[in-house]
Chains A and B, each alone.
Chain A
Amino acid sequence: MARVEIANAGVDPGGPAAPGGGAGRTAPVGAVPVLRRAAAALTGDTWPGFLVRRTGRLSASLGVVVTASFAMIHLIPGDPVRAALGIAADPAQVAARRHDLGLDRPLPAQYGSFLANLFHGRLGDSIVSQMPVSQIISDRLPATLQLVIPAVLLILLAGIPIGMLAAVLTRDGRRRRGELAFAATTGILAALPEFLLAVGLVAVFAVWWQLFPVAGQSDLSSYVLPVLSLTVVPAASLSRVVRVEALRVLREDYMRTARAKRLPARLVYLRHALPNLLTSSLTIGGLLFTSLLAGTVLVENVFAWPGLGSTIVQAITTKDYPLVQGVVLVYGAAALLITFAVDVAVAAIDPRSTVRGT
């Protein structure tokens, strides 16, 4: 109980136990109790403590991403510049390029200037096109976001209602056949690789029925198939998760209470069930969103979409390492930020969230 009370204190300042309230009043005000209280706030099960710890973990992970993208160019066996320019390249040209990239300097100095440049938003120049990497990324990022944002919205708007509806219709063993059909359909859809689905969609909707363009970014109709390819698989997974969570919630005593109050079905499900299944569904949703980032790489290549995903593949193929470095950095940071945002959102929605203990 005490644990719970302390947990509230962070969320609801008017709660029975204000943070450190009791201890503060009796202990003499001095440096030691203040520090102890601060330490307790950071390590304990409190809202600021959670934020501090979670931000610390985010920074550490971002550090790993930055270091890994820096290290990548040094981990490549052989000389990356020679590999990029080809065996026939003029040695003087190779040396000059090495110098341009700073590869002839000592490793710690390279790391230092890498971090300094990163701080100023400079990611070096592309070996192939000589353009600044940051420029290429800011040119290509919007096209990727134009796929990701509608996809995320559609996943939520389809996955949650479908999952809840399935749960309501099949609760307590009703409609066994319907349950089987739902499990089979969503199971197959959720197991499909996005890019294979994309190829299938192209064959059916673009080649046979010719409803949408096969590839490329043009008018609105060109968005339909790529967004759909990114949406279907995660939406199917999410609806499965939501259904299981909703079935759990529907068995809870408080749902019987809601029925005993003879509330309209709309209130029973939307007001009483939905908030209780949202947090756990969101936690899993976070994983779906990070894997969506990876999905864009393949889907963009199926549709020749001029986004970051096709950029990184071209860069790897042409051994344009500074560009690979930059895009890896953007993708890695995006994945970490999504996970962070979902964790914070879950902790904010649900004051009893277990996420906070971790």
Chain B
Amino acid sequence: MAATTVRGVVSAEPPESFARRLRQSLRTPIGAAALAAALLLAALAVAGPVVFGDQASKIDTSAMNQGVSGAHLLGTDSLGRDIAARVIVATRLTLRLGLSATAIGLVGGLLLGLAPSVLGRRAGRAVTGVVGVLVAFPGLLFVLFLATIFGIGSTGAVLAIGLALVPTLARLIQNLATSVAGSDYVATARILGVGRFRIVVRHVLPNIVEPVVLFAAQAATGSLIAFAGLSFLGLGVQSPDYDWGRLLNEGLSRIYVNPASALAPGVAVVLAGLVFALLGEAVAQTGGRRTAARAVPAARTPVAMNADGGLAQTPADVDGDALAQLTHLRVSFPGGRTAVRDVSLSVAAGEAVGLVGESGSGKSLTALALAHLVPYPGHVQGVVRFDGHDLLADPRSGRRLGAELAMVFQDPMTSLNPALRVGRQLAEVSEVHLGQSRKAALARAVDRLAAVGIPDPERRARQRPHEYSGGMRQRAFIGMGLMAEPRLIIADEPTTALDVTVQKQVLELLGRVRADSGAALLLISHDLGVVAEVCDRVLVMYAGRVVEELPVSRLFQGAAHPYTRALIGAIPTMTTDLDRELATIPGRPPEPGEEISGCAFATRCAFARDRCRGELPVLAPAAGGAGHRVACWYPRAGDGGTVTDDTDTDDTDTGITRAESEAVA
């Protein structure tokens, strides 16, 4: 909360709008409840002593120490006075004392908190230092210390509690003032020669009003409770006056006779504290509304596993030879977002398959579905098979994936656990899945680190990831996949986060690992060049569907889908004219929630016709030959922009440039 508040503060807004926003948030349920409760409390404080004053102070020797009864709702005290009336009457004194202490704390906190902004650097630092030391002490000890100095009684307690609030409030206000003072408009004012005092009054103060109101509400709760504590200890309000703390003190000594007499004032303190907390909440909502209105809805990146199953499988689709197979995969999220729509793919043993597409095309989720790692609340439907086992139908079979499926993620900087030694992170794989002893597993980890080209692996195994460079972490990560006997490696943008020279080394390493282990590879990338270098077969995804599937040998000469061609055309090469703008694909991909009746690419496609917009093209064998399938009503043929039928062939102004493919390969 603090962070968002501060952010809201820095983006300066006129303070008038705060009042307006406050009125708005008082109309929300919490705001309305806070307002109603505060009004009730105020009414009790004002009218309580007038209405119940006589009843609360009337000594009745015939009704001493009575329990709960119809005449005395909460019983009577040792002088026969009605406790319910006394609790109500005490509201006024309790609130007056608590709020006075809050006021002292707030004034002191503002003075000390803003002092560093007004005073010079050295004096300011001294104030900050003193506040820093004082904040370290628990509030109540500070209160007791001050109460000793100011003496026992209401006045001393108000001073003690008020002053004890100062350090905490000063620290909070200091932080706020510093963040505002660091903003551009204050810097501008300073350059313009506006004095420090004026800057504080004109620029800093109006911009911290909102959080300070929130702090004040919290401080009010705190001082109410502190006062109750102090009076309870006999150091606050003295007889014959009484506040809730004093009543609690008197009630506790009679708790055997009448528990209600001890509980009622305690409940009163808690309820009043709740009212202030609610008010603070309402104010915080005001701040939250401002930031919420501005914030772009953040994309959540949940990372949990989804174990629930999907549709009834269709056995006809099972491919006996495939090591890993997805059939009619659909990954959807609550709220109608469907990220993957009807994707089928298979990876044969030892094969290298590339999965390309731009961000949001669903390629990563497809890979995660294959690894049974789709994040919650993603819903996976279809059939996911690994080595003949249906992962969705039998989630327990996922365990074997630990040994036979290796994952390599995009960002090696965040994918290794920072708290654990690298050797340990590798070793646990074979400990868990191969049942190796701790020692044997660690020896294997060192061996694997050596195998992925990490120098001095014994020492490196004892280090934590932050002592590794980015490339080394990705190597170690690949090494982790080799701890068992992987039959499939899924690499999700393994080189995207690395710099170019390291990218090449990591790709070479992946190739070598594959050659050594005979594992199949599913490489997810948006980089056609990388895929062409490593893979045998390529699948192109767009808006959650596979739009083309072809052997890598045909990628640059024989691609039939306009989208694939556009992707190829967008690759800058050594021969690209540097003076011309880089080729891009115009328009934007559809949102995951959008329902499209025809081809999702139609709006960006220069060759789209009515049929494309109205009817969904299905993946069908292309003219190119074996293993080439395309989902397009009007697939392109030949080495360029010619079309199979007689429509407009002029594509010079479509933004889709011709493939300059040879240079890439």
User: Is the Cβ of B229 less than 8 Å from the Cβ of A193?
Assistant: yes
> In the complex, A127→B417 CA distance in Å?
60
Residues on the A chain within 8 Å of B233, using CB:
297-298, 301, 313
With A196-B269, A331-B141 in contact, is A251–B302 under 8 Å at CB?
yes
Determine the chain A residues whose CB is within 8 A of the CB of B147 once the complex forms.
316
Question: Are A200 and B420 CB-contacts (below 8 A) given A72-B149, A260-B373, A261-B428?
Answer: no
Residue tally, chain A, CB below 8 Å to B: 79
Q: Which of A264, A298, A316 contacts B152 (CB 8 A)?
A: A316
Which of B136, B234, B401 is the one whose CB lies under 8 Å from A262? B401
B498 contacts the other chain (Cβ, under 8 Å)?
no
Which among A72, A275, A294, A313 is the interface contact of B138 at CB below 8 angstroms? A294
Q: Find chain B residues with CB under 8 A from A173 CB.
A: 300, 302, 376-377
B140 and chain A: residue at smallest CB distance: A294
Q: How far is the CA of A331 from the CA of B376 in the complex (A)?
A: 48
B259 touches A316 (CB 8 A): no
Give the CA-CA distance A276 to B420 in the complex, in Å.
9
* Interface presence of B407 (CB below 8 A): yes
Residues of A within 8 A of B401 (CB): 262
A328 with B414: in contact, given A172-B376, A291-B138 (CB under 8 Å)? Answer: no
In A14-50, the 8 Å CB interface with B consists of 14-16
A272–B273 Cα gap in the complex (Å)?
A: 40
**Residues of B with C-beta under 8 A to A126:** none
CA distance A174 to B302 in the complex (A): 11
> Given the complex, which residues of A lie within 8 Å of B303, measured CB to CB?
172, 250-253, 255-256, 259
Decide if B415 is an interface residue (CB 8 Å cutoff).
Answer: yes
Decide: A191 and B277 in contact? CB cutoff 8 A: yes
We find that the number of chain B residues with CB closer than 8 angstroms to chain A is 73
A254 with B417: CB separation less than 8 A? yes
Tell me if A97 is interfacial: C-beta within 8 Å of chain B. Answer: no
Report chain B residues within 8 Å CB of A272. 417, 419-420
**Other-chain contact of A195, B137, B139, B145, B232 (Cβ < 8 Å):** B232
Q: Is the CB of B432 within 8 A of A264?
A: yes
Give A205 Cβ to nearest chain B Cβ, in Å.
11
Give complex CA distance A153, B358 in Å. Answer: 52
Interface of B is mostly: helix
Contact B255–A172 (Cβ < 8 Å): no
Interface residues of A in 303-339 (CB under 8 A from B): 312-313, 316-317, 321, 324, 328, 331-332, 335-336, 339
In the bound complex, what is the Cα–Cα distance between A324 and B144 (angstroms)?
9
Cβ-based interface call for B39 (8 A):
no
List 10 A-B pairs, minimum CB-CB distance, nearest first.
A262-B402, A294-B140, A172-B302, A275-B419, A294-B138, A253-B414, A254-B417, A203-B259, A260-B407, A196-B266
23 contacts between A and B (CB under 8 A): A4-B467, A72-B149, A77-B149, A172-B300, A193-B225, A195-B229, A200-B263, A203-B262, A253-B303, A254-B415, A254-B417, A257-B477, A262-B398, A262-B399, A262-B433, A267-B432, A271-B420, A276-B418, A291-B138, A294-B139, A298-B229, A313-B235, A316-B235
Other than A301-B232, A321-B148, give 10 A-B pairs with Cβ distance below 8 A. Answer: A61-B136, A193-B228, A207-B259, A252-B414, A260-B409, A262-B398, A316-B147, A324-B148, A335-B138, A351-B466
B residues contacting A by CB (< 8 A) are 133, 136-141, 144-145, 147-149, 151-152, 221, 225, 228-229, 232-235, 248, 252, 255-256, 259, 262-263, 266, 269-270, 273-274, 277, 300-305, 371, 373, 375-377, 398-399, 401-402, 407, 409, 411, 414-420, 428-429, 432-433, 459, 462-464, 466-467, 469, 477, 480
